[in-house]
Structure 1
């Protein structure tokens, strides 16, 4: 590994060690790809002709609990070791662009902001509100000392760091941007700082900040975009920091987003003729666990588990026709050598394997297993997940209607995102998003001391737009019973599903209830495979204790990517948590993905 220091400057163009330098970069998010695959993906990036790799840094993963920092990721298979990722890139002869903004968007839960920001005191997120900034300072106190030694002027590969992300489409608090800039400088960041925004005058002018170089994000129309950007670069170079070559999918989309390779290649030619580029995404990866983001237009649209993005590499790292076409374009500009000697390793460490079908071997429903997974918290009124210290997953709200002998309607106020309601263990209502506020007539339930259970699911926090400040999950208001009163006296069960080893499958199983299903299969050799969940309703999957992500018959995604690095030779375990009462009896592991037509 080279330790020679260098320089990177922004003048009329980019200069690396005082020589003109064109950035040809590709986006790879280390936190969406298992570490066993980093070298393979980075090597393929260099072989495309790129000289740089770009990645976001997600605050919510590195500080999951206030004051508790994780820069390795023992519970997520080591995926949070950002320093190791950067050093691997350097060893393979790549420069690095880091985007450690408090907010990253990235179709990632809450845009990378930690859920605990919503737990207590009210604050204006992404502003100069001191109640928010003090949390950013605490985070940067830990993060920036890790990043500073990775900079080019200290012998590392890092050329630039981003200050915030697409802020011009959110607000215009210049004091906030100046505060972030100063925080980074005060903590040892010496390389150039940059911002990225849409190629729009309002967006760029909202975010322009002294000492922060402006760049643009777009997917087409490079000539027009750069002509606008030039008005803000003070004679500096033009760069497309996110050249969108694909798009993300949301549940209920009609089909997987797929773009035209030739059209994208022609756009790349225009960008490289005029300036610099970061291809977004080179490889998208996977929204493992509960970390998918969401958007909110007329309704909540939660993103699927795959972040394939129609990128140059597939979700499991296969080379695409778009990759081949982009390599032709990039080769026309020659490789800009960077003085780093690549040390190549093996590519594609895992082949695709079909393991076939496996049947349920054990099962237990949620109500029988409840006390294995959570201790109840008594509250007068329902409280949101965040107020009880839970960031992700599900929460069960339970109460007994001592004063009402007939239940015929329900209404949930300040509830998100999806509710399944049971009265005396009978499923009486499923509702989501704005439906939760509506009055719902249900089939009447008549009995003394009716037990009411409401399973709330956090489907992913919105990652873009003004709603980012107002999205507590669960119920943070009240439950109206029969149009007359709010039910008081609740027991709340936090279900982040991070302790499934405590499940006791002998407790019992009732048909139609949310339940856990356990499968096992033997692997003679380990390889990448794809979990087909046809016949199952909605829920999430765990493989050998690793949270693979969500599944939903709504599509378009029909199979979940299961990296071979999570498997072992011999017996492997899969657990599904299914909420709709739809169980197929078996699942299958196939050798091909299915993201929808």
Structure 2
């Protein structure tokens, strides 16, 4: 008999079951390393892997679906089963996860009336359509059909966002209609009204997310249940994430984490968040916004049990010791050979200004007014606005109205100013000295906010307009720059110091291995390796080097292209055999 049920406890094939689970996000790990990370999870004594499912990756443009390569969710789940792990799937349309827009696709914002995560009919219709494709990938991998999926989650931390119970019930119904048979759970913080807001106890088991005071929070969960039900920390936070501009890489106390894990396993089940964090490849990092914009760095190391590059830590061994006291620990050899190498210093070969090649990488759009990224069907990257603004004179009132997130202003291709976050929208003055003048504005999406109330207003680029001496400027040429086609950059053009630019390097190697790229003296931008966008860099730190997994490389010649936005470039890049995530400050 293959059954999994939730009553007074978790029951697997009618026997009591304890989840000892760890989080791995398949979309943050190259697929060549999925088995390695899953094997290390199993070797630690865990019996389950948990993963989110990012809607914005699987439906990047409305009606276009991707479930192959690094997004082959089905293969990830099957690999977990082969390794001996069960699966908790969290397929909510919203995942948070410090991921771009919390996993929601940008194109939802093309509806000006959109109400995210509410019982708003157009939102629910889009979820239904997505679910009809998503669950076809995994329905036969549910446990009762011979697969490893034991539970799925409804929404995610909804109690920290709203209390629309009709929405939660319709979400549940949508999952059931799409073929989900497994028991369902919700997960919320144990503070304030979060459990009350986010739970639907007659349809899904309430679980909690926290990183400390497990015993106290379990008492709160027991009281909330009212009757005996299994206790579970769905996200046991054992580390934290870093934002650009932080003064250190966040780490946490292994001693404290071990104590909390011990307390958790004594009373209930656990999912360790994160077992392995991985990388925000491309432009897929999210951001938080409280007093200021705080975009997450490219690394999602999280001070997890495995490093960003998959190496077991001291905390891994300490957790393995705790788990080994309650379950037998497996012992088997790892199946994937992973090496790290430093390839040394590489010198630039070619360099071209963005303005000299912009027509080879973008098709301009003529408009009387600026259009946001969402309005030109663009998810991430940059967007450039260009307009003729007339003869020499003093502009007393220059403003960008509803612009996000970071804007470079150019006059006749010369950088005048860079505005970011709170500075955007302020009044500035510009002196025009040429007989005729051209205004250019390069805007970067630094990552849509992934949590709380700011999510409803994540329009990137310029949404409302540009004020020039008190009036909106018209007649624009708009260049979408998702930067997914750097192979089309024409390096035969001119390079001008101080302008945004592309630089090309050739790395010739005899053996592929994991490596870490450093850009000493460079400003801000992103790096591609053989066409793979490995993510952002910024001299603000704390992250100093970017992770390049070996599967992105090849024996022989490798093409590295660096885009730099601020006009601060070096002539070399360096490949190291060690990471540098920034200064470490721990509470140990």
TM-score range, shorter chain: over 0.9
User: In the alignment, which residue of structure 2 is the partner of 1:110?
Assistant: 101
User: In the alignment, which residue of structure 2 is the partner of 1:314?
Assistant: 307
What are the within-5 Å matches in structure 2 for residues 132-281 of structure 1?
A: 132-200=123-191, 202-209=193-200, 210-233=202-225, 234-281=227-274
Deviation at 1:347, TM superposition (A): 4.3
User: In the alignment, which residue of structure 2 is the partner of 1:75?
Assistant: none
Aligned residues of 1:381 and 1:489 also touching (Cα < 8 A):
yes
* Secondary structure, counterpart of 1:117 in structure 2: helix
Deviations 1:537-580 (A, max 9, x none): 00000000001000000000000000011111111111000011
User: In the alignment, which residue of structure 2 is the partner of 1:304?
Assistant: 297
Of 466, 482, 487, the match for 1:501: 487
User: In the alignment, which residue of structure 1 is the partner of 2:78?
Assistant: 87
Of 462, 467, 477, the match for 2:454: 467
User: In the alignment, which residue of structure 2 is the partner of 1:552?
Assistant: 538
The whole-number CA distance in structure 2 between the counterparts of 1:512 and 1:350 is: 40
User: In the alignment, which residue of structure 2 is the partner of 1:417?
Assistant: 405
The whole-number CA distance in structure 2 between the counterparts of 1:41 and 1:252 is: 30
The whole-number CA distance in structure 1 between the counterparts of 2:75 and 2:336 is: 19
Q: How many residues align?
A: 581
The whole-number CA distance in structure 2 between the counterparts of 1:12 and 1:90 is: 26
Say whether residues 1:64 and 2:57 are aligned partners. no
The whole-number CA distance in structure 2 between the counterparts of 1:567 and 1:403 is: 50
The whole-number CA distance in structure 2 between the counterparts of 1:118 and 1:566 is: 33
Say whether residues 1:25 and 2:21 are aligned partners. yes
Aligned residues of 2:388 and 2:438 also touching (Cα < 8 A):
yes
Deviations 1:58-115 (A, max 9, x none): 000000000000011xxxxx21000000000000110000000000000000000000
Deviation at 1:446, TM superposition (A): 2.0
Aligned residues of 2:395 and 2:429 also touching (Cα < 8 A):
no
For structure 2, list consecutive stretches of 5 or more residues without a partner in the other structure.
584-588
What are the within-5 Å matches in structure 2 for residues 411-560 of structure 1?
A: 411-442=399-430, 444-482=431-469, 484-560=470-546
Aligned residues of 2:394 and 2:429 also touching (Cα < 8 A):
no
Of 48, 51, 54, the match for 1:52: 48
Of 521, 540, 561, the match for 1:575: 561
The whole-number CA distance in structure 2 between the counterparts of 1:178 and 1:335 is: 40
* Alignment RMSD (CA, Å): 1.3
User: In the alignment, which residue of structure 2 is the partner of 1:363?
Assistant: 351
* Stretch moving more, 385-394 or 228-237: 228-237
What is the TM-score when the length of structure 1 is the normalising length?
A: 0.96
* Stretch moving more, 198-207 or 541-550: 198-207
What are the within-5 Å matches in structure 2 for residues 343-354 of structure 1?
A: 346-354=334-342
Deviations 1:177-224 (A, max 9, x none): 001100111111111010000012510111221211100000000011
Deviation at 1:13, TM superposition (A): 1.0
* Secondary structure, counterpart of 1:179 in structure 2: helix
Deviations 1:500-552 (A, max 9, x none): 11111011111110000000111111100000112100000000000100000
Aligned residues of 1:410 and 1:481 also touching (Cα < 8 A):
yes
Deviation at 1:131, TM superposition (A): 1.3
User: In the alignment, which residue of structure 2 is the partner of 1:289?
Assistant: 282
The whole-number CA distance in structure 1 between the counterparts of 2:17 and 2:113 is: 45
The whole-number CA distance in structure 1 between the counterparts of 2:114 and 2:359 is: 35
Aligned residues of 2:188 and 2:208 also touching (Cα < 8 A):
yes
Aligned residues of 1:251 and 1:303 also touching (Cα < 8 A):
yes
Say whether residues 1:97 and 2:85 are aligned partners. no
User: In the alignment, which residue of structure 2 is the partner of 1:326?
Assistant: 319
Aligned residues of 1:195 and 1:212 also touching (Cα < 8 A):
yes
Aligned residues of 1:407 and 1:446 also touching (Cα < 8 A):
no
Deviation at 1:407, TM superposition (A): 3.5
The whole-number CA distance in structure 1 between the counterparts of 2:329 and 2:281 is: 35
Relative distance call for 1:60 and 1:345 in structure 2 (3 A) is farther
Say whether residues 1:402 and 2:390 are aligned partners. yes
Deviation at 1:447, TM superposition (A): 2.6
Aligned residues of 1:39 and 1:345 also touching (Cα < 8 A):
no
The whole-number CA distance in structure 2 between the counterparts of 1:292 and 1:122 is: 26
The whole-number CA distance in structure 1 between the counterparts of 2:6 and 2:459 is: 42
Aligned residues of 2:43 and 2:329 also touching (Cα < 8 A):
no
Aligned residues of 1:293 and 1:303 also touching (Cα < 8 A):
yes
For structure 1, list consecutive stretches of 5 or more residues without a partner in the other structure.
73-77
The whole-number CA distance in structure 2 between the counterparts of 1:133 and 1:29 is: 25
What is the TM-score when the length of structure 2 is the normalising length?
A: 0.97
